[in-house]
Amino acid sequence: MTRKIKPYQGPAGGWGALSATTRFVFGSQQPAANIRNLLRANQVKGFDCPGCAWGDEQGKHFSFCENGAKAISWEATTKQVTPAFFRAHSVGKLQRQSDYFLEYQGRLEQPMYLNRERGHYEPISWENAFALIARHLNGLDHPDQLELYTSGRASNEAAYLYQLFGRSFGTNNFPDCSNLCHEASGVALTQAIGVGKGTVTLSDFERADAILVFGQNPGTNHPRMLHSLRNAAHNGTAIVSFNNLKERGLERFADPQSPLEMLTPKDSRISSHYFCPRLGGDMAAVRGMAKLVLEWDAEALKRGKPGLLDRDFIAQHTHGLEDYMATVAATSWQQIEVQSGLSRAELRQAAEVYASAERVICTWAMGITQHKHSVATIREITNLQLLRGQLGRPGAGLCPVRGHSNVQGNRTVGINEQPDAAFLDRLQQHFKQPMPRRPGHNAVAAIQAMLDGEAKVFIALGGNIAAAAPDTPATARALANCDLTVQISTKLNRSHVMAGKEALILPCLGRTEEDVQASGPQFITVEDSFSMVHASQGVAKPKSPHQRSETAIIAGMAQAVLGNKSVDWQALANNYDLIRDHIAATLPGFEQFNERLQQPGGFYLGNSAARYQWQTGNGKANFGSDPLPASLIPEAVTAKAQGMLSTLQTLRSHDQYNTTIYGMDDRYRGVYGQRMVIFMHPDEIKRRGLQEGDWVELIGVWLDDVERKVGGFKVVAYDIPPGDVAAYYPETNPLVPLHSVGDGSHTPTSKSIPILIRKQDAPRII
């Protein structure tokens, strides 16, 4: 493995993607299985790619991307984590290994129990594992001492059964990866338009005149989105990117599935305009654009011309324009320019594109949702769209681009710590048993409850909370404080080794694998970012006879804990059609669920806002009128740092899927063979008396006196606004204070962490 930093000159995609895919698919121990799997990815009779939540283009023969191929091959590995492996590796020893090492060991193969006395995981039968869970749960003083975490890969069927299990037990404690991810989108959109989901469908991307992409790196995280953006750019659609970094995927793309683009030097320009705001500066940037649109509108009206606002839409459908206009008028250009880091001239260019386009889509991801004022920022993006009625029309709307492949579906079917009363009423009526009404814990609250000893049992349906959550040492203490931690997982990860006093690993089948139950082969369903629900059926043979489906595992736990008085859990695990019948009976939009899945490509759940039905308190789409935050970092923190503060964003490299590290390269950012790097502007490097290649430690500065520090990072000069720096997650998670969360979203502020950077000696082993 050669470590080097070498700026990448090519387009995103292209031969680099093809050769990386080939290396990943053929370089593994199961190339034939990988190819068979890939041919069935995102096909009508195949499985939904577990990579991301972007929608499927129907009728395409190949429907996967480089990073989808990695996710699929990674799951298909023939390597297994056997009892012999655990005999050879104590938990203490495993704790000292890297995340890459842990996941690289292969698929979890048998249920395992952590014998604390011996310090090793040992095999346990499924029955004994379920009995242990039942003993702990039935011994709790209160159902809210249980935390049920979900990561967004779980199917609709598994997630629905899981929430039914939790609520039948008596708790709404459903912390989930969404709380660390797109929560702000759900909160802001629900306030503004009455539904916490995007309003567009995939075909809208073909009809838009302008697409504004905020805080998102599709070249790595949603590569199939580049196809939509490329096609739009070819049709003359303006693509305006707002990103703290110059991401290659937003600049240029060569489609590895297009012979013309591969064989000629003809790649596609993606963005027509590219702006690099300061971290957290997007709300100010959008406010600047809105200010210009409102000014131009007023001038046009004065000259007797038609204005720029969609006055019919505003009058009929919205509330709060006057307050919003007053707030915009009260926001000074000075504040807008300082906070956004963009000049008035730049914002004018952006506003001109917006104002001259008939149909505009705004998309966004983590660069928008992981700040303190994320809810207000998404309200501001919505305000901009409301001004010109850019919603509910073909080619126009709002599009939060989700992360995990079924994170949206999980929320739809009830993974929600604050469920609405109507849903609970329906569950109660249908299952003829009371449902808990107390709001539950989100991810940060769950960690705090475990730290405080209020929560005693932690069960995770997938994911890797120990590495994904903020304040890593605090999260580790929280897990260690639990009487029992249970991980339903495909691969070994940090959460298995940072475990509770007692701990279980329950190995499950993956999305790509055949799932055969008593009634025969099963399929599951998922919902993508565009509210399309469709079936997904695995094609690969399971690797171990001991692995069970997520649904079967949940049913087994529920049966052991609750018995089958009000729900026949085993019957549901035997035949997932029956779970879908319950979903159809309790969730609006899923009527005749099983029948509608027969349509190739699935069905559209619909979006009330896209139909101009506003399920808000006042029955209107609401303008928000939050002022810009007075400062992006608390003033007390800035004062503590005495002028030496940097703002850190923690982001993904090209070779990772969240906490799963596939490799050590970040090709488009020119980083090879390493992950411990910090991207800094050359002036910022100089200002700190540093040089490129120096080793530094990063020290968190926060309102509390907790020491937060990580070391061994190499300085890399990069095109990033001075004062802002970037490094990879999860290595930087120890720097994110548990209680630095978004207003109204409670999402850790992983994209704006105040830190100091201090030179250190070269690490001994480099």
Ligand X SMILES: Nc1nc2c(c(=O)[nH]1)N[C@H]1C(S)=C(S)[C@@H](COP(=O)(O)OP(=O)(O)OC[C@H]3O[C@@H](n4cnc5c(=O)[nH]c(N)nc54)[C@H](O)[C@@H]3O)O[C@H]1N2
- Residues of span 380-409 touching ligand X by CB under 6 A: 403-404
Tokens of 111: 């249920």
Does 736 bind ligand X (CB under 6 A)? Our answer is: yes
214 or 423: CB nearest ligand X = 214
Q: Rg of the chain over CA atoms, in angstroms?
A: 25
Q: Which of 379, 652, 669, 714 binds ligand X (CB under 6 A)?
A: 652
Q: Verify binding: residue 172, ligand X, rule CB under 6 A.
A: no
What is the DSSP secondary-structure string of 501-554? SEEEEEEB--TTB--EETTEE--EEEE-TT-EEEEE---BPPS-TT-B-HHHHH
Q: Please, which residue, 204 or 550, has the CB nearer to ligand X? A: 550
Which of ligand X, Mo ion, none lies near 733, with the C-beta cut-off 5 to 8 A by kind?
ligand X
Q: Does 181 bind Mo ion (CB under 5 A)?
A: yes
Decide if residue 51 touches Mo ion (CB under 5 A): no
- Residue 510 interacting with ligand X (CB under 6 A): yes
Nearer to ligand X, 517 or 733 (CB): 733
Rule CB under 6 A: say whether 215 interacts with ligand X: yes
Give which of ligand X, Mo ion, none residue 244 binds (C-beta under 5 to 8 Å, depending on kind): ligand X
740 lies in the binding site for ligand X (CB under 6 A): no
Return the one option of Mo ion, ligand X, none that residue 441 interacts with (CB less than 5 to 8 A, by type).
none
- Least spacing, CB of residue 150 vs ligand X, in Å: 8
Q: How many residues bind ligand X (CB under 6 A)?
A: 61
Report the C-alpha gap between 542 and 477 in whole angstroms: 35
Among 576, 657, 668, 713, interactor with ligand X by CB under 6 A: 657
Could you say whether residue 508 binds ligand X (CB under 6 A)? Answer: yes
Residue in 157, 417, 550, 666 binding ligand X, rule: CB under 6 A: 550
Q: Which is nearer to Mo ion, 395 or 742 (CB)?
A: 742
Give the torsion sign (CA, 160, 161, 164, 169). Answer: negative
DSSP string, 592-619: THHHHTTSTT-EE---TGGGT---STTS
Q: Which among 598, 595, 601, 522 is positioned nearest to 555, based on CA atoms?
A: 522
Using CB under 6 A, which of 157, 247, 261, 665 touches ligand X? 247
- Selected from 374, 649, 674, 749, the binder of ligand X by CB under 6 A is 649
Q: Which is nearer to ligand X, 547 or 622 (CB)?
A: 547
Q: Please give the helix or strand (H or E) that residue 252 lies within, else none.
A: strand 252-254
Nearer to Mo ion, 369 or 390 (CB): 369
191: helix, strand or coil: helix
- Give me the least distance between CB of 429 and Mo ion, in Å please: 34
End-to-end CA distance of the chain: 12
Size of the site for Mo ion (CB under 5 A): 2
Nearest to 518 by CA among 570, 562, 581, 553: 570
**CA proximity to 399, closest of 216, 253, 576:** 216
- The binder of 280, among ligand X, Mo ion, none, by C-beta within 5 to 8 A per type, is ligand X
CB 706: neighbour CB atoms within 10 A? 12
- In the complex, the smallest distance separating the C-beta of residue 109 from Mo ion, rounded to whole angstroms, is 28
Q: Tell me the per-residue interface mask from 64 to 83 with ligand X, x by CB under 6 A, - otherwise.
A: ---x----------------
403 binds Mo ion (CB under 5 A): yes
Q: Which is nearer to Mo ion, 554 or 651 (CB)?
A: 651
Q: Does 147 bind ligand X (CB under 6 A)?
A: no
Which one of residues 40, 197, 667, 751 is an interface residue with ligand X (CB under 6 A)? 751
Identity of the residue, 38 or 488, whose beta carbon is nearer to ligand X in the bound complex: 488
Determine contact, residues 722/663, Cβ cutoff 8 Å. no
SS3 686: helix
Q: Is residue 569 helix, strand or coil?
A: helix
Binding site partner of 103, from Mo ion, ligand X, none, Cβ cut-off 5-8 A by kind:
ligand X
Alpha-carbon span 38 to 69, nearest angstrom: 7
Least separation in angstroms between CB 285 and ligand X: 8
Give the C-alpha distances (Å, rounded to integers) separating 294 from 297, 310, 322, 378, 488.
5, 11, 12, 19, 52
Give the E-state strand segments of 652-703 in sequence order.
656-657, 660-661, 671-672, 677-680, 695-700
- Token pair listed for 41: 């990815």
- Residue 307, classed as helix, strand or coil, is coil
Q: Cβ contacts of residue 759 below 8 Å, gap of 6+?
A: 688, 689, 690, 694, 695, 696
- Answer yes or no: are the C-beta atoms of 621 and 321 closer than 8 Å: no
For position 280 contacting ligand X by CB under 6 A, the verdict is yes
Q: Which does 67 bind (CB under 5 to 8 A by kind): ligand X, Mo ion, none?
A: ligand X
Q: Is 512 in the site for ligand X (CB under 6 A)?
A: no
The nearest distance, CB 620 to ligand X, in angstroms, is 29
52 near ligand X, rule: CB under 6 A: yes
What is the C-alpha separation between 715 and 677, in angstroms, rounded? 6
**From Mo ion, ligand X, none, interface partner of 678 (C-beta below 5 to 8 A by class):** none
Both tokens assigned to 692: 């490129």
The nearest distance, CB 260 to ligand X, in angstroms, is 26
Q: Which stretch binds ligand X (CB under 6 A): 122-130, 203-211, 220-228, 597-605?
A: 220-228
Q: In terms of CB distance, is 607 or 659 closer to ligand X?
A: 659
Does 282 help bind ligand X (rule: CB under 6 A)?
yes
Number of H helices and E strands in the chain, helices first, is 33, 33
Closest CA to 207 of 242, 250, 240, 236: 236
Residues 228/235, Cβ–Cβ less than 8 Å: no
Tokens representing 193 are: 């338009």
Residue 279 lies near ligand X (rule: CB under 6 A): yes
Given Mo ion, ligand X, none, residue 736, with its beta carbon under 5 to 8 Å by kind, binds ligand X
Distances (CA, A) of 240 to 226, 266, 339, 543, 649: 14, 21, 19, 45, 21
Q: What's the CA gap between 186 and 194, in Å, rounded?
A: 10
Strands 709-717, 677-680: pairing is parallel
Minimal distance in Å, beta carbon 91 to ligand X? 16
Provide the minimum distance between the beta carbon of 227 and ligand X in the complex, in angstroms, as a whole number: 15
Q: Is position 547 an interface residue for ligand X (rule: CB under 6 A)?
A: no
In sequence order, the 6+-apart residues with CB closer than 8 A to the CB of 452 are: none
| Chain residues that interact with ligand X, rule: CB under 6 A | 51-52, 67, 103, 151, 153, 177, 180-181, 214-217, 220-222, 242-245, 247, 277, 279-280, 282, 365-367, 370, 403-404, 461-465, 468, 488-491, 493, 508, 510-511, 550, 649-652, 656-660, 729, 732-733, 736, 750-751
> Could you list the residues that contact Mo ion (CB under 5 A)?
181, 403
